[in-house]
Structure 1
């Protein structure tokens, strides 16, 4: 059965990006460190067209994360390019061969024609999270939809009851501010723990969303 999943690295004080995010520093001050556990993995490097890397307790988690994904959703900040009307030459943070390899729906207030880079097509959705959800589910077929982020996007899908699983990669850093996950959610919102994996530099916490 297909699922809608979210998967994101987070500091111990709940931030997925640090303070003062900008075009030059999209993850803000200290935010790059949230992903140190991943970028050295052979599983991550292979998905990004690179060789080498480590194999450790995070490898299975990364393999599972990348399996059975048929479509993705992300906020505009994660695609990049600032605010306001699109600069048409901007094709995202992800280079000429993005690591998604499936249709990816970008939430935005400003229309833009789809952008195809290698085997990833970015579709820009201006009519809200439910429209992106419906389009992604149709594109994914019997595979899963991955909500890539950032925090505001994941928070919206959680608040609307549209998420089935949430996996947090908790990194032992304190950012003190920035983009906060699980913010302003209903106290009636509940999670059921599915799995905990301790690994070098990170603890992986997987939850099922109780509906």
Structure 2
């Protein structure tokens, strides 16, 4: 059965980017510390990343995140979905309007203009027997959890306090989480919850 997994790196104080994040600086000031684990040589970090990339039948992201990954400083042949693994599942982007051009034309992009639930449904159709992964940004994941669209929340808790940036959670519906696993590594604590 296809699960909907929200998977994102977050600071100890709840931010998924540092301050000043935008198309030219996708992670904002200090935000690169959030993804240290994805480039780590720690065997457990490598396992978490590899398993996450392998289970991704389709990936959902918001338009702001698309603009970062498709921008000039975004993904390339060495760093992409799954960091250095450069996974290539189908990508579904929630947007008010599709972009006029796409730099990463070797990836499978679908642009959904009718809302997050339709984007998740489109990704579910593309995922086959694998999972749908919501990779962000923070507003997309927060909205999906508030709307009851997420089965699993996978957080990669980076040992950094950013003080400001893009929060993962803002005013949303209360959700109960059931802890499934905790994997501490030298660069992060990987926590997986069922969303009930």
Query: Do the structures match in fold with TM over 0.5?
Result: yes
Residue 136 to residue 114, structure 1, CA distance change in 2 (3 Å) = farther
User: Contact between 2:157 and 2:188, CA under 8 Å: does it hold in 1?
Assistant: yes
**Distance across 1 between alignment mates of 2:101 and 2:113:** 12
- Of residues 76, 91, 104, the one that matches 1:95 is 76
The correspondence of residues 86-125 of structure 1 with structure 2, limited to 5 A, is 93-95=74-76, 98=80, 99-112=86-99, 115=102, 117-118=105-106, 120-125=107-112
User: Contact between 1:5 and 1:163, CA under 8 Å: does it hold in 2?
Assistant: yes
Tell me the equivalent position of 2:83. none
Displacement after TM superposition at 1:90 (Å) = 5.7
**Distance across 1 between alignment mates of 2:98 and 2:38:** 33
- Secondary structure of the equivalent of 2:88? coil
**Distance across 2 between alignment mates of 1:55 and 1:155:** 29
User: Contact between 1:13 and 1:174, CA under 8 Å: does it hold in 2?
Assistant: yes
Residue 91 to residue 142, structure 1, CA distance change in 2 (3 Å) = farther
Tell me the equivalent position of 1:4. 4
Question: Mind listing any 5+ residue stretches in structure 1 that lack a counterpart?
Answer: 41-53, 82-88
C-alpha offsets along residues 48-104 of structure 1, whole Å, 9 cap, x if unaligned? xxxxxx2422222122211222111001111116xxxxxxx9688223674341110
- Secondary structure of the equivalent of 1:130? helix
User: Contact between 2:23 and 2:71, CA under 8 Å: does it hold in 1?
Assistant: no
**Distance across 2 between alignment mates of 1:137 and 1:126:** 16
Q: CA RMSD in A?
A: 2.1
Which one has the bigger strand percentage? Answer: 1
Question: Mind listing any 5+ residue stretches in structure 2 that lack a counterpart?
Answer: 81-85
Displacement after TM superposition at 1:111 (Å) = 3.0
The correspondence of residues 63-102 of structure 1 with structure 2, limited to 5 A, is 63-80=50-67, 93-95=74-76, 98=80, 99-102=86-89
- Secondary structure of the equivalent of 2:13? coil
The correspondence of residues 29-68 of structure 1 with structure 2, limited to 5 A, is 29-40=29-40, 54-68=41-55
Count how many residue pairs are aligned between Structure 1 and Structure 2.
188
**Distance across 2 between alignment mates of 1:17 and 1:90:** 17
Tell me the equivalent position of 2:166. 179
Residue 145 to residue 166, structure 1, CA distance change in 2 (3 Å) = same
Residue 113 to residue 198, structure 1, CA distance change in 2 (3 Å) = same
**Distance across 2 between alignment mates of 1:140 and 1:178:** 31
User: Contact between 2:9 and 2:34, CA under 8 Å: does it hold in 1?
Assistant: yes
- Structure with bigger gyration radius: 1
